[in-house]
Structure 1
Amino acid sequence: MRKETMKICLVGSSGGHLTHLYMLKSFWQDKERFWVTFNKDDAKSLLKDEKIISCYYPTNRSLKALVINTRLAWKTIRKEKPDIIISSGAAVAVPFFYIGKLFGARLIYIEVYDRIDKSTMTGKMVYPITDKFIVQWEEMKKIYKKAINLGSIF
């Protein structure tokens, strides 16, 4: 992607998923960006100087959350027009990835560190449409054939 300015959407649950994304700071710090995460104290503290769009939670296995966050994804992606959407999960990533794909965003998913030999539900759901699927353990390439192992983010 050769573009003078690249806009990134970093989407993920608060807690460990958000920490994973924040640890990519050397990549995103000099780019235009916005975050989609839960309106919780840890996220507000970590991202205090960042543009944050609050999503609905709890998300896991919640049809209500999926519907609300799909509407939010549609509205947000149409307005913000990100070039790249990056996530390490969890469920809130799903509507943002599928809506983002419709609008031509490149999709990068990072499977979480604590999964060594079993996929996550979010990983399984977004794997078919990702442009880059990153794992942190070589064993995970047996589960996700097109994955790239970049080793640990930590």
Structure 2
Amino acid sequence: MKKIIFISSTGGHLSELLQLHTLFDHYDYHLITEYTKSNIPLKDIYKKKMSFLMYGTKHNLLTYLFIFPINCIRSLYLYFKLKPDVIISTGAHTAVPMCFIAHFFKKKVIFIETFANIHTKTLSGRFIYPIADCFIVQWESMLELYPKAIYLGWIF
């Protein structure tokens, strides 16, 4: 059974990622997101299949400059602990290090660009597009920005 890490930042990115929950029954999965008050109940649902990274936002740049390297190290630790075959992400910044780690170790990276953007690239999408084995967009208009992407429609 393939091991898959599903990873995203909190909020809308996580809501999109959780729409893929029907895949969880078919794979040896692990879910990773940021530790926030609203995400703590996920530990009760997913038990040992759930891990957290530190919450950080680029809107508070000074704090984020300390949190991001810590999350990179934690991502590396989780990668070696879980030994995934595939990374699936809906973004954003929290997921970028894990995608690059997987790419470095020649594992598959599947990135789903957020539903929230119809005409502009996300920052995480810009970083991950060149390394993704499969880059999925939810709006057909996004194919103009990501010509090698696959349009599959909305996750919702």
Please give the TM-score of this superposition, normalised by the length of structure 1: 0.91
Normalized per residue, the structure richer in helix is: 2
Answering whether residue 127 of structure 2 is matched by residue 125 of structure 1, we say yes
Q: 1:15: Cα distance to partner?
A: 1.6
* Number of residues of Structure 1 aligned to a counterpart in Structure 2: 150
- Asked whether the 8 Å contact 1:7–1:84 carries over to 2, the reply is yes
Cα separation, 2, equivalents of 1:122 and 1:36: 16
Q: Percent identity?
A: 37
Cα separation, 2, equivalents of 1:23 and 1:98: 23
Q: Residue 82 of structure 2 aligns with which residue?
A: 80
Change (3 A) 1:25 1:153: same
Q: CA RMSD in A?
A: 1.4
Q: Residue 51 of structure 2 aligns with which residue?
A: 53
Cα separation, 2, equivalents of 1:57 and 1:44: 12
Following TM superposition, the consecutive aligned residue runs of length 4 or more in structure 1 with deviations greater than 3 angstroms are none
- Asked whether the 8 Å contact 1:85–1:108 carries over to 2, the reply is yes
**CA displacement, residues 10-64 of structure 1 (integer Å, 9 cap, x when unaligned):** 1111221111111012222231111111122332334532122110121425332
Long gaps (5+) in structure 2: none
Please give the TM-score of this superposition, normalised by the length of structure 2: 0.89
- Asked whether the 8 Å contact 1:83–1:104 carries over to 2, the reply is no
Which sits farther off after the overlay, 48-57 or 121-130? 48-57
Long gaps (5+) in structure 1: none
